[in-house]
Structure 1
């Protein structure tokens, strides 16, 4: 078994890990209130990626849970959820934040964002900038109501809560500790914090 590979997802910034099929990756909400936008791309062909649209259709649910298999845009299994110590509140609906989102919220200058974090990480592999797929927003709390309305609420997580994913193909995993500080998705204080990950060998 390979030794565990530890990694930091700095507050407001991104991080990347190469994960082999059969390995597991644990994403840790270190301080308990941080949303982590998460992507998985097929290492052999980054045009194939973890797709929230296809996963929702496959699961017939809005929130994935332990035991679920997540699908690519070609409807192939890419990740399986094997453990989750958090309350299990994760989002599959909301697009990665971008500079336009912050302008819409009233920001007049540049604001770090998950879209740029995604592209900064993939640039290291020579992947050209692109509009990222809709992420798996780990620990993000988006309650919905019977009338179809959505709310942006604080995560119900505790410090150290984690979710564990097993790779079902060789993946590039990209993470962003969401920089959102204008809505309470990173807690009532609207203060992004570090998160961590650990890749465990098979």
Structure 2
């Protein structure tokens, strides 16, 4: 075989980290957190087609679970003290993968660019890649919203994830403009051979969960998607089930549960500190005067 005919190796991931980089979580450390004794702080069950926001102190654990069976949830995250720092789905997708699981981190937007949470456990981590190329816990897509629904169907509907999240954050002084691209928990998605985005029914069973360790003090918000487990998804109500029967999406909607825990033994966190933003101070090549500079060369 001529050199020109030899197969080329597949492209390497675009983002590489040096040893010890914060891109890669210390697995032993986070395994210790995952296994450590916990103290329940609060919990709530989020009804179907609704949203809620809640505060999480740094160093705490958040568990999102499916108490009654499969249900997709749309998750937003902000820094509690500075909501301009918020979850950045696109960069997280580049730094880790299109779908995330244990030891991956959810990163914040510029100019902060640091982990907001680290995933410490995921009962669906073995889902892998299915026969269609789908994977679980999606960063490819974003939240459903009433604007695209109206564009596609002419219908107005007030309980898409974007609307649920908007209502959830208003008590915390945020608005619709603060709602951002999400992590779709328990959602299986992928790209087909034509590069088109597809969604599959959620594989979650009763009691499945994903757990996050809060690297900062956070405001989190979650929506129970109006598409439920996505087994009959369609814009507007209704869709064909697996057997072809007509079925309402509402029939496939279930609640999600949120639990927040502290660690009983804080020594588990020995050596852990909140990660600070990168120390770039270049001002993007701009020179900005702080005020008028007075010429004193002819002063007497």
TM-score with structure 1 setting the length: 0.90
* Greater radius of gyration (CA): 2
CA–CA distance in structure 1, aligned partners of residues 158 and 149 of structure 2: 7
Please, which moves more after superposition, 37-46 or 87-96?
87-96
Q: How many residues align?
A: 201
Aligned match of 1:192 = 253
Aligned match of 1:138 = 185
Q: Is 1:39 matched up with 2:76?
A: yes
- Describe the superposition over 1:1-34 as per-residue Cα deviations: whole angstroms up to 9, x where unpaired: 6533111111000012210111000000223221
Q: Is 1:97 matched up with 2:144?
A: yes
1:96–1:132 Cα contact (<8 Å) kept: no
Please, which moves more after superposition, 97-106 or 163-172?
97-106
Within the candidate set 99, 103, 115, 1:67 is matched to 103
1:48–1:72 Cα contact (<8 Å) kept: yes
State the Cα distance separating 1:164 from its structure 2 match.
Answer: 0.4
Higher helix share: 2
**Where do 1:151-170 residues align within 5 Å?**
151-170=198-217
Within the candidate set 58, 62, 74, 1:21 is matched to 58
CA–CA distance in structure 2, aligned partners of residues 55 and 10 of structure 1: 28
Structure 2 stretches of 5 or more lacking a match?
A: 1-37, 129-135, 234-238, 242-246, 264-300
CA–CA distance in structure 2, aligned partners of residues 107 and 193 of structure 1: 26
TM-score with structure 2 setting the length: 0.62
2:140–2:190 Cα contact (<8 Å) kept: no
- Cα gap change, 1:25 to 1:71, in 2 (>3 Å): same
Please, which moves more after superposition, 26-35 or 138-147?
138-147
Structure 1 stretches of 5 or more lacking a match?
A: none
Larger RCO: Structure 1 or Structure 2 (Cα < 8 Å, ≥ 6 residues apart)? 1
- Cα gap change, 1:154 to 1:171, in 2 (>3 Å): same
